[in-house]
Amino acid sequence: MNENVVVMKFGGNTLANKEKILLAVDLIKNRIENGKKPVIVASANGNMTDILLDNAYSLSENPDKRELDMLITTGERISVALLSIALRARGVNSVSLTGSQIGLVTTSQHSGADILALKSDRLFKEIASGNVPIVAGFQGIGENKEITTLKRGGSDVSAVFLASELGGNSVAMIKDVTGVYDKDPNKHEDAQKLDLIDFDVMYKLALEGANILHPDAVKLAKEKNVKIEIVYYKDGKVGTVIK
């Protein structure tokens, strides 16, 4: 446990092109300059996961689940490698890592696995040696040593789990919206931003379709008492705190 560790999760919409990756670099550098030790969880760029799934279903009506997980975990792998390349070019020591490399052990179920444990000290070693770990969200390694994925949108769950294991007890969810609103602000002009909400209210909103956070991530955050901050990707401002 390290109080200075801060888990920052970048969603797919916040890493979708070069400009957005460079904004992510700025937010990460800013945390380091403030004495924090960021641990990054990244999702696949834009709708990459859907594109990969479409490719698979164009070849088979019923693709093998193991092969599907092998395929769709590559989306996150691209994101973490590109982000780490961008960081290293700007003077930040970073290392991209897959779910299996950090020992994120899950149930053996493909496409919908549950996280069981973080069974390796790789992340702690990287942090101690001064590297910013850039971890592929949404994926792990099953108890049977096969690559697994969580439910769709599961990078939020990866991030909350890592925050509870690594310390700091808070997670910054970097999003393409300025906070949680009472309804989707991209669909309703009169949506009102909520500055502070409790886990139960957020869980209900998420279940009702507010896809800004995965309901399982909110549930896990409540169980582990991990505070969630919704941070706008352009300016790094905290728009909503969930605790």
Ligand X SMILES: N[C@@H](CC(=O)OP(=O)(O)O)C(=O)O
Ligand Y SMILES: Nc1ncnc2c1ncn2[C@@H]1O[C@H](COP(=O)(O)OP(=O)(O)O)[C@@H](O)[C@H]1O
Question: Using CA atoms, how far apart are residues 238 and 243, in angstroms rounded to an integer?
Answer: 13
Q: How far is the CB of 125 from ligand X (least distance, A)?
A: 26
End-to-end CA distance of the chain: 20
- Under rule CB under 6 A, how many of the chain's residues touch ligand X? 12
Is 209 buried (19+), middle (13-18) or exposed (0-12) by CB count in 10 A?
Answer: exposed
Q: How far is Cα of residue 213 from the mean position of the Cα atoms in its chain? A: 10
Tell me the per-residue interface mask from 59 to 78 with ligand X, x by CB under 6 A, - otherwise.
----------------x---
Question: Using CA atoms, how far apart are residues 9 and 184, in angstroms rounded to an integer?
Answer: 20
> Quick one: which of 177, 217, 228, 231 contacts ligand Y (CB under 6 A)?
177
Q: 172, 30 in Cβ contact below 8 A?
A: no
Question: Using CA atoms, how far apart are residues 126 and 111, in angstroms rounded to an integer?
Answer: 28
Binding segment toward ligand Y, per CB under 6 A, in 61-69, 76-84, 91-99, 204-212: 204-212
Please give the full DSSP string across 170-230, using - where no structure is assigned: EEEEEESSSSEESS-TTT-TT--EESEE-HHHHHHHHHTT-TTS-HHHHHHHHHHT-EEEE
Q: How far is the CB of 180 from ligand X (least distance, A)?
A: 15
Strands 139-142 and 104-106: what pairing? parallel
Binding segment toward ligand Y, per CB under 6 A, in 24-32, 78-86, 159-167, 207-215: 207-215
> Quick one: which of 6, 7, 8, 12 contacts ligand Y (CB under 6 A)?
12
Q: How far is the CB of 74 from ligand Y (least distance, A)?
A: 17
Establish if 30 lies at the interface with ligand Y (CB under 6 A): no
> Quick one: which of 48, 123, 212, 220 contacts ligand Y (CB under 6 A)?
212
Tell me the per-residue interface mask from 147 to 186 with ligand X, x by CB under 6 A, - otherwise.
-----xxxx-------------------------------
Query: Which CB, 98 or 155, lies closer to ligand X?
Result: 155
| Pick from 243, 219, 236, 70: nearest CA to 157 | 219
Establish if 196 lies at the interface with ligand Y (CB under 6 A): no
Establish if 138 lies at the interface with ligand Y (CB under 6 A): no
**Using CB under 6 A as the criterion, which residues of the chain lie in contact with ligand Y when the complex forms?**
11-14, 43, 175-177, 180-181, 183-186, 205, 210-212
